[in-house]
Structure 1
Amino acid sequence: MADIVVKTEDVVKEYRMGSNILRALDGINIEIERGEYISLMGPSGSGKSTLFNMIGALDRPTEGQVYIDGQNMAQLSQRQIAAFRCHRVGYIFQSYNLLHVRSAHGNVTLPMIFAGIPEKQRNEKAEGLLDMVGLGDRMYHLPDELSGGQRQRVAIARALANDPSIILADEPTANLDTITGREIIDLIKRLNREQGVTVISATHDLKMLDVSDRVVDIRDGLVERVRNRDEIDIEVGEVGDE
């Protein structure tokens, strides 16, 4: 039996804009298995980032339910949701969201401070994570002293700080050149395979196709289709033959 880590049931999200109501999600039903690499793809305004926010408990649905490891997120208090975000989910953002006054090492230790991890342990772990993402020689540099790809590597290390079961990556390659973006995709996939962490990425980047176990295409707030690994392989082959 599949080990379902994320499940949404008839998720609707509406935003009020003056006298108008915008329905960003219109009844989303998906299930994601533990250890999968899932890409949420769709044009701007399709609803993929809104769905991403629902899964990460960054926002609440207007209607419907979101379950993480069988827990109905609507039943959690704000304090419990904060704890969930701290311990269960690692976030990687398009704009990196690093604190510019803290070094790479300082940014990676920050989630561990909030989690109450002792100083010696968090310092050692931050060093190990930065080594793992290839920044062992840059860990005490400030973000402004790092390239875009290096900043995203810091963000990846930070996302792993509290051993999350889910990594949520929102357009992780959008601000990177093609080569660096490919390196970041490969790094996230390697972590997915080696650590068994579930990766859910909201993206426009077609390079995500060949590392994804499934691609969920979102359009007009609905799941348009779900493509499995074998279907993705065929499409990548067709693109390569053109």
Structure 2
Amino acid sequence: MTREPTPADGRHTADARPPATTPSPGTAAPRVAGLLLAAGGGRRLGGRPKALLPYRGRPLVEHAAGVLREGGCDPVYVVLGAARDRVRETACPAGCVLVDNPDWERGMGTSLRTGLAALPRGGADAALVLLVDQPGIGARAVARVRAAYRSPTTLAAAAYEGRRGHPVLLGAAHWEGAARSARQDAGARTYLRAHRTALTLVECADLADPSDIDTPEDLHRLR
């Protein structure tokens, strides 16, 4: 899942650390579902499914699902593809909803569409999308981006020294459009570019590393 650095084409919040959304009396707290894209087959890693790569004594998919939960996302949906039966048998993240993507070989865009389609309509106000192969993004970055939520029309993404990255927060009003525009390995990129004037960038370079695991040379990031 190679992702080229993306120049910032949205707008920053006034404060790089947006305050947590505090509901007014009588108003329910926002429900932000976590959406973990973990279907990649690791073609450039010699066919090693990324979800099963070992990280800190457990499969990477378990670590990433835990990051979403610790960052305040509930429920957490995990989209599986390559070796999905092995993931279910040996690395099933506890308390998560597992979703199979039969078209995972056609690119990350299919996983985003599959995941968004699985989310409960009316059961969540937003979805926070994270990729399984970025172990340097932890719960604090997830929580910071989650805190940018204001309404179902919120569109936000982490930024790293001004460059847009993950995680990405999609208010429920954006799910249909983001799914419709997802193609191959672009994921939500096309949709975010088309709606850049509505996009809030949340700077996270001070607490996260967005580097991904894509080639054998990248495996050192798991140690």
TM score, norm. by length of structure 1: 0.26
Q: Which has the higher strand share?
A: 1
Larger Rg: 1
TM score, norm. by length of structure 2: 0.28
